Amino acid sequence: MSEQGHKQRQQKLKEKVDARIEAAQQEKGLLLVITGNGKGKSTSAFGTVARAAGHGLKCGVAQYIKGTWACGERDLLSQHGVDFHVMSTGFTWDTQDKTADTQAAQQIWAACQAMLADDRYDLVVLDEITYMITYDYISLDEVIDALQQRPSEQSVIITGRGAHRRLVEIADTVSEVRNVKHAFDAGVKARQGIDW
Ligand code: ATP
Ligand code: MG
């Protein structure tokens, strides 16, 4: 393409982008859903927490699954004013005690409801909450109510596979991380700093 052609094309693109930026005038807290089977959902949420905390915004995180082992982002971010609520019994895939799991999930959910009603929180992350809904440890209706009634400037990120379609419907931004390949399937162990 000629120099002139390139310039014209870029100019047109710039006009289009400028018009879209101009059209985006609404200001509100966002609901984001990061779902799908690929790796990168929780890391995306924690990247956003780092971004928000870096701007001095108040963040709270609820971790519904990875309770028992140390995780790097929690250790780092809690030193920077991010509040964490972690499922104390350390729910894992092999728990068989539905009553204990439900109790543990409900306890964290109560902390989440408090954050979702508190306008001091600019960003709340509900990490892996989709599984709690799938297993019926937490009521989907309650989650939707709490999300819809949250302070208008508060943003929320939900992560986990198989997000319920009603969550997808009420979300502003939904990303589905697709699994192209994962090292684990080739027999590589989960790695510190990459996987937790
Ligand atoms: P991450 O925390 O790395 O962003 P994730 O939140 O997208 O992963 P989860 O389902 O929460 O995905 O996975 C938790 C753990 O399982 C992580 O250690 C992650 O590396 C690993 N994992 C994620 N996706 C896959 C996959 N498709 N196959 C095997 N292991 C996976
Ligand atoms: Mg995750």
Q: What is the pLDDT of residues 95-104, one digit of tens each?
A: 667 888 888 8
Distance 40 CA to ligand 1 centre (A): 7
> Which pLDDT belongs to residue 100?
82
43 in ligand 1 pocket by Cβ < 6 Å?
yes
Give residue-wise pLDDT tens across range 69-81.
Answer: 667 888 899 999 9
Tell me the whole-structure pTM to 2 decimals: 0.89
Please give the Cα distance from 81 to 63 (Å, whole number).
Answer: 16
Please give the Cα distance from 195 to 192 (Å, whole number).
Answer: 6
Torsion of CA 153, 157, 163, 164, to 10 degrees: -20
Q: Is domain 28-186 given the CATH code 3.20.20.60 in the classification?
A: no
Please give the Cα distance from 72 to 59 (Å, whole number).
Answer: 17
> Which pLDDT belongs to residue 89?
65
Ligand with smallest separation from the Cα of 41? 1
User: Which ligand 1 atom minimizes the distance to the CA of 44?
Assistant: 4
> Which pLDDT belongs to residue 91?
54
Where exactly are the structural domains of the chain? 28-186
